[in-house]
Amino acid sequence: MTVEISDSRLTNSLADGCGEILKGVRNGGLLRGLALGDAGDEAAQEWISRVLEQHRPKDGVLSEEAADDLSRLKKDRVWIIDPLDGTKEFATGRQDWAVHIALVENHKPIHAAVGLPDIGVNFFSDEARAVLGPKSGKIIVSRNRAPKVADYVAEHTGSEITTYGSAGAKAMRVLLGDADAYIHAGGQYEWDSAAPVGVAQAAGLHCSRLDGSKLTYNNADPYLPDVLICRPDMADEILQLCATFKEEHGSY
């Protein structure tokens, strides 16, 4: 007999458990590099799949580490998951990797969790609150794919560009007040941002595409070109700067 568990508790427990599995795989010290990243991905995905099969067998699933079952498109409730966001960071001993768990209903995250296991912190949408004190003067971007538009925004807002690993880790830096905005262009997938956006929105941050349009999830094509997560008091200015940059350069 399966014990009843609420959506929020299941979301949070998946993030907790996934983080423990990944730390266990790495702490064994027997694997390195790509083999370590692959083993972590596979172990975490297998566990998540079994948990959802037992507790939410009727829900759809979209995960980076599983074949895309398009029957999800006919379902109102879909779990969008990245068991290990920042595989390179995980495999090289860095701390800026994350676990992404989001439950999407009618294309919007309703429960989400971002786990940062190496620093022992999990962010849950049902309890997250953004730190909105003095501005940090920093804009956070991808270490590997920093968009030119972010440099333009930084220049016109008097901000400094800083880099970090996982998308979830970057988004949570904005939530903590360590950065004023996370700007990404050049492509991601829904599993990269569903959980970070779910937590950030619940915490009171602005989340959108760089053109200001809404972020929607559980689409036939899970590719998501760009995202903005920022302090709400900077959203209008940043979106206007993004629009001006695109007019001048043709892209972000």
Edge-to-edge strands, sheet with 108-116: 60-63, 77-85, 98-105, 108-116, 121-124
Beta bridge partners of 183: 228
Q: What is the pTM of this model?
A: 0.96
Taking residues 39-62, report their average pLDDT: 97
pLDDT attached to residue 79: 98
pLDDT in tens, 104-153: 999 999 999 999 999 999 999 999 999 999 999 999 999 887 899 999 99
Taking residues 51-74, report their average pLDDT: 97
* Among the listed residues 19, 16, 24, the one whose alpha carbon sits nearest the alpha carbon of residue 166: 19
Taking residues 38-65, report their average pLDDT: 97
pLDDT attached to residue 2: 66
What is the pairing mode between strands 223-230 and 181-189?
Answer: antiparallel
pLDDT attached to residue 164: 94
Opening angle at CA 249, ends 244 and 250, nearest 5: 95
More confident residue, 235 or 143: 235
Pair 181, 234: CB distance under 8 Å: yes
**DSSP 3-state assignment of 106?**
coil
The burial class, CB within 10 Å (0-12 / 13-18 / 19+), for 246 is middle
The burial class, CB within 10 Å (0-12 / 13-18 / 19+), for 119 is exposed
> Alpha-carbon dihedral of residues 61, 3, 20, 145, nearest 10 degrees?
20
pLDDT in tens, 63-118: 999 999 999 999 999 999 999 999 999 999 999 999 999 999 999 999 999 999 99
The tokens of 11 are what?
Answer: 């979301």
Quote the DSSP letter at residue 155.
H
